[in-house]
């Protein structure tokens, strides 16, 4: 085998001298320029201008090619020699190489030396000679030791930011490594210590200059970096886990097993997982807290809102209730005012009616009584007007006190005496109880007089006839009090707090009055630093107590000796109740036509009675109830009644009259100041016969009464009653009365012989209550039903006596007497003779 310059290799068959060339491409030769060929076993090793080829003689193909990258010293391989072990030695353009043919590992020697082609020789003793530019190199391959086993990379220094860190040196508050640097296998660095340098070497240090090192930082720089440098610097290495590998190449081009150092660069805490988790945790907690806080706030706000809405609703409700109460009060005040004006007009009308009526009379004949009455009524009007003015003044704070020293017993007694006559007219026992000793006090005489005028006149006004009124004075340590107690109509418990309100009038007080008297009295008491109170029980009476302080310290200097004009004129002052006309208490004799007059105003009642009594028998009553009581005894031909009255008003009275079978037929005239149409309609619906408004003329009233009575006479022809034994004025009986009388007599005639037959049984048989029966019987017959039955029995007995057929005892039993003695007595009483002497 031989090589051809630039044409690869050729084979010369020695026997036939034939040369066969092998084109480099056909056999896979790495380069056409071949420098040397040597046979080793079945292989031909071919050194070319680019690479070492192993040509297999069996396959006739290049099976392996080696370059620098495989450890060859240089790619230009000049000469090839096989040593005693079968390993291949070669000179290259630069350096010598040994190829371990078994391991295929190269060892390099004299790497920096240049060699020449065709300059080699292998001696018989095994020595190999290579010629180079600097001379010849020869060696015995047997003496060349492989140095690869002994070379170990060592780290000599570790630098951080170019500063060598020593064993046990404190860096950033910690000792970076406690062992010698060449022993350490791991390093933990912070993210700020990410630029570091390793300085290294190989031991043993035989051929320091020729050693090649390679290193890599796995995970950061994955390719081996090869070079002679004995230090490596890694800059700005990101946090993470790395492995630094360092290996050194021996002369035989064998890389030592690498030295490993695990390097951990810790990330900054904000990049740490725990920090991130913590952050996420904190953010989550914050978000949850924020959410819950928001939720809480919203709930709180909702609760607050709800509360506010509730409060406002309650507020609105309260206000609306208040408004309702106010409007109710306003309405009530309005009503009270209206009522007041109606009442006051009534108050004005009554005296006016009287004045006008009396004036009519005066035209005929002026009597002292009439003049007095006119004067009284005019004064009554004046008093009313004055009271109103006084009230207004009090309201406007225009009243001034005029305090003087006075003896209270004498002072109050004077006032009481002035009411004596008025009390007598109502048969009221007006009593006065002074303190045991004289008591001097400081008061405004005029105002105190007005207070007690009001209280005493009220007590008399609201007390029915025959009841007492008591005025008493009591002395206490610092105070004294004056009580006005009556046994009158009393005041409802729920009205007690209202009586001192202006315009207040109790439901049961009737129309006469205007509701300013007590309000004025209270104002006048308050002015004098006193106190007024009332205790009352309905239908039992009332006690008004006025309490004043003793002494004068509670008054201002201004309150004394004011020369104030009294609001009561001297004339009015003389208008004490004693000057009022007296009621003529004697009942009129029953004449043909009887009129029941129902009027609460005493003066009007007297006046009406006066004008009617010329022609009719007049019976008067104070109010509806009083009239009903009187109707138990009498059955009048006509009723004249006022509408507004205490206890039982005119309309209710009229209703009762019209509902009662006995009284329903009696003509009814309503007399009133109330002129509203609803009242009129109401009263006509009740069945009244006429309606007369105040003020009215005397003549008109008389004319209407006259007309009503004669109309009724024409309508009802008077029935002629069949008399039995008792004497009855037939002409006065009406149809219904005749029926009643007949039925009664039939029953008496049937039962007179029954000793148990009494008026009780009789009224039951007549289907009437005892009192109604009794009243009606008396009205018709003028006598008691019991007397009448006895009279019938006695008349029957007289008839039997005349027959002379029975004994007195038999007759007494026959006519229903229980004992003969009683029969004898009654017989004698009635006939004036004993039964035995009767014939």
Shortest spacing between CB 578 and ligand ADP, in angstroms: 20
Q: Does 489 bind ligand ADP (CB under 6 A)?
A: yes
Q: Does 515 bind ligand ADP (CB under 6 A)?
A: yes
Contact track, ligand ADP, 458-477, x by CB under 6 A: xx--x---------------
Residues 6 or more apart whose CB falls under 8 angstroms from that of 452 comprise 412, 415, 471, 482, 484, 546
Shortest spacing between CB 419 and ligand ADP, in angstroms: 13
Contact 266, 190 (CB under 8 A): yes
Contact 348, 355 (CB under 8 A): no
- Strands, E assignment, 550-643: 594-598, 617-621, 638-642
Q: Which residues of 582-595 are buried (b: 16+ CB within 10 A; e: fewer)?
A: ebeeeebeeeebbb
Shortest spacing between CB 601 and ligand ADP, in angstroms: 12
Instruction: Compare residues 535 and 579 and give the one whose CB is closer to ligand ADP.
Output: 535
Q: Does 504 bind ligand ADP (CB under 6 A)?
A: yes
Q: Does 488 bind ligand ADP (CB under 6 A)?
A: yes
- Which among 13-21, 167-175, 502-510, 822-830 is the span making contact with ligand ADP, rule CB under 6 A? 502-510
Contact 186, 262 (CB under 8 A): yes
Q: Does 451 bind ligand ADP (CB under 6 A)?
A: no
- Which among 41-49, 231-239, 508-516, 793-801 is the span making contact with ligand ADP, rule CB under 6 A? 508-516
Q: Rounded CA gap, 648 and 659, in Å?
A: 15
Q: How far is CA 768 from CA 662, 666, 737, 756, 773, in A?
A: 11, 20, 14, 19, 6
Q: Rounded CA gap, 387 and 520, in Å?
A: 8
Q: Does 24 bind ligand ADP (CB under 6 A)?
A: no
The tokens describing 703, both together, are 């004319």
Instruction: Compare residues 279 and 389 and give the one whose CB is closer to ligand ADP.
Output: 389
Q: HSE-up of 472 (CA within 13 Å, CB side)?
A: 10
| Beta pairing class for 61-66 and 77-82 | unpaired
Q: Which residues of 111-148 are buried (b: 16+ CB within 10 A; e: fewer)?
A: bebebebebbebeeeeebbbbbeeeebebebeebeebb
- Which among 206-214, 481-489, 600-608, 666-674 is the span making contact with ligand ADP, rule CB under 6 A? 481-489
Shortest spacing between CB 688 and ligand ADP, in angstroms: 26
Q: Does 517 bind ligand ADP (CB under 6 A)?
A: yes
Shortest spacing between CB 460 and ligand ADP, in angstroms: 8
Nearest-CB residue to ligand ADP? Answer: 513
Shortest spacing between CB 489 and ligand ADP, in angstroms: 5
Instruction: Compare residues 514 and 791 and give the one whose CB is closer to ligand ADP.
Output: 514
Residues 6 or more apart whose CB falls under 8 angstroms from that of 315 comprise none
- Which among 113-121, 193-201, 238-246, 454-462 is the span making contact with ligand ADP, rule CB under 6 A? 454-462
Instruction: Compare residues 461 and 605 and give the one whose CB is closer to ligand ADP.
Output: 461
Q: Does 357 bind ligand ADP (CB under 6 A)?
A: no
| Cis-peptide, bond into residue 204, ω within 30° of zero | yes
Q: Does 120 bind ligand ADP (CB under 6 A)?
A: no
Contact track, ligand ADP, 519-538, x by CB under 6 A: x-------------------
Contact 202, 167 (CB under 8 A): no
One residue of 516, 598, 640, 797 binding ligand ADP per CB under 6 A: 516
To which residue do tokens 């807290």 refer? 289
Element (H, E) at 543: strand 541-549
Element (H, E) at 759: helix 759-765
| Cis-peptide, bond into residue 475, ω within 30° of zero | no
Shortest spacing between CB 431 and ligand ADP, in angstroms: 15
Q: Does 387 bind ligand ADP (CB under 6 A)?
A: no
Instruction: Compare residues 79 and 377 and give the one whose CB is closer to ligand ADP.
Output: 377
Q: Does 486 bind ligand ADP (CB under 6 A)?
A: yes
Q: How far is CA 413 from CA 42, 141, 479, 636, in A?
A: 174, 171, 19, 43
Shortest spacing between CB 486 and ligand ADP, in angstroms: 5
Contact 89, 147 (CB under 8 A): no
Shortest spacing between CB 588 and ligand ADP, in angstroms: 31
- Which among 285-293, 393-401, 434-442, 513-521 is the span making contact with ligand ADP, rule CB under 6 A? 513-521
Binding site for ligand ADP (CB under 6 A): 454, 458-459, 462, 486, 488-491, 499, 504-506, 509, 513-519, 542
């Amino acid at each position: 085998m031989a090589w051809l310059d630039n044409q690869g290799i050729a084979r010369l068959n020695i026997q036939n001298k034939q040369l066969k060339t092998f084109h480099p491409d056909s056999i896979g030769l790495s380069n056409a320029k071949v420098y040397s060929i040597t046979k080793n076993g079945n292989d031909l090793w071919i050194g070319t201008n680019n690479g070492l080829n192993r040509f297999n003689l069996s396959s006739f193909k290049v099976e392996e090619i080696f370059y620098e990258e495989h450890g060859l010293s240089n790619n230009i391989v000049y000469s090839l020699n096989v040593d005693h072990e079968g390993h291949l030695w070669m000179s290259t353009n630069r350096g010598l190489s040994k190829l371990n043919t078994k391991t295929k590992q190269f060892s390099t020697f004299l790497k920096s030396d240049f060699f020449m082609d065709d300059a080699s020789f292998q001696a018989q003793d095994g020595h190999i000679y290579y010629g180079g530019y600097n001379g010849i190199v020869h060696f015995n391959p047997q003496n060349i030791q492989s140095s690869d086993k002994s070379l170990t990379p060592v780290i000599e220094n570790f630098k951080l930011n170019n500063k060598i860190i020593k064993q046990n040196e404190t860096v950033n508050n910690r000792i970076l490594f406690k062992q010698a640097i060449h022993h350490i296998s791991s390093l933990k660095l912070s993210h700020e210590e990410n630029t570091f340098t390793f300085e290294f070497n190989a031991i043993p240090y035989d051929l320091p200059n020729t050693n090649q090192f390679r290193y890599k930082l796995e995970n950061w720089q994955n390719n081996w970096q090869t070079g002679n440098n004995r230090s490596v610097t890694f800059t700005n290495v990101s946090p993470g886990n790395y492995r630094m590998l360092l290996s050194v190449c021996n002369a035989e081009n064998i890389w030592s097993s690498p030295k490993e150092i695990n390097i951990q660069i810790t990330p900054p805490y904000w990049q740490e997982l725990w920090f991130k988790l913590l952050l996420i945790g904190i953010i989550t907690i914050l978000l949850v807290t924020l959410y819950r806080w928001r939720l809480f706030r919203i709930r709180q706000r909702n609760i607050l809102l709800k509360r506010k809405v509730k409060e406002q609703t309650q507020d609105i409700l309260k206000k609306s209730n208040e408004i309702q109460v106010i409007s109710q009060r306003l309405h009530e005040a309005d009503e009270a005012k209206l009522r007041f004006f109606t009442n006051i007009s009534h108050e004005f009308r009554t005296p006016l009616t009287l004045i006008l009526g009396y004036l009519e009379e005066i035209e005929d004949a002026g009597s002292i009584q009439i003049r007095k009455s006119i004067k009284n009524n005019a004064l009554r009007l004046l008093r009313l007007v004055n009271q109103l003015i006084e009230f207004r003044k009090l309201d406007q704070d225009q009243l001034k006190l005029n305090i003087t020293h006075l003896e209270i017993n004498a002072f109050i007694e004077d006032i009481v005496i002035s009411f004596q006559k008025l009390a007598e007219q109502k048969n009221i026992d007006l009593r006065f109880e002074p303190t045991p000793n004289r008591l001097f006090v400081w008061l405004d005489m005029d105002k105190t007089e007005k207070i007690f005028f009001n209280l005493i006149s009220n007590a008399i006004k609201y007390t029915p006839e025959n009841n007492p009124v008591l005025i008493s004075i009591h002395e206490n340590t610092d105070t004294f009090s004056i009580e006005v107690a009556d046994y009158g109509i009393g005041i409802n418990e729920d009205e007690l707090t209202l009586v001192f309100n202006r315009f207040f009038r109790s439901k049961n007080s009737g129309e006469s009055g205007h509701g300013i008297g007590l309000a004025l009295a209270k104002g006048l008491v308050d002015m004098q630093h006193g106190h007024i109170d009332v205790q009352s029980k309905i239908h039992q009476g009332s006690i008004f107590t006025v309490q004043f302080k003793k002494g004068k310290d509670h008054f201002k200097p201004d309150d004394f000796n004011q020369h104030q004009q009294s609001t009561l004129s001297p004339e009015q002052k003389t208008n004490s109740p004693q000057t009022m006309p007296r009621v003529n208490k004697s009942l009129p004799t029953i004449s043909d036509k009887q009129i029941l007059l129902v009027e609460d105003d005493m003066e009007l009642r007297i006046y009406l009675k006066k004008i009617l009594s010329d022609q009719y028998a007049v019976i008067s009553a104070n109010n509806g109830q009083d009239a009903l009581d009187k109707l138990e005894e009498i059955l009048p031909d006509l009723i004249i009644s006022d509408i507004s009255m205490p206890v039982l008003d005119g309309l209710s009275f009229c209703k009762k009259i019209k509902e009662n079978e006995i009284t329903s037929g009696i003509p009814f005239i309503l007399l009133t100041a109330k002129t509203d149409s609803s009242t009129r309609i109401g009263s006509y619906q009740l069945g009244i016969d006429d309606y007369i408004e105040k003020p009215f003329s005397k003549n008109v009233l008389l004319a209407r009464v006259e007309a009503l009575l004669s109309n009724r006479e024409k309508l009802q022809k008077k029935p002629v009653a069949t008399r039995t034994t008792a004497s009855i004025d037939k002409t006065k009986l009406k149809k219904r009365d005749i029926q009643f009388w007949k039925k009664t007599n039939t029953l008496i005639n049937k039962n007179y012989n029954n000793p148990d037959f009494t008026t009780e049984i009789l009224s039951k048989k007549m289907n009437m209550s005892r009192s109604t029966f009794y009243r009606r019987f008396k009205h018709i017959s003028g006598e008691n039903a019991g007397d009448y039955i006895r009279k019938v029995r006695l008349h029957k007995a007289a008839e039997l006596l005349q027959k002379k057929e029975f004994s007195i005892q038999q007759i007494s039993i026959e006519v229903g007497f229980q004992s003969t003695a009683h029969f004898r007595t009654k017989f004698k009483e009635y006939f004036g003779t004993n039964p035995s002497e009767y014939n």
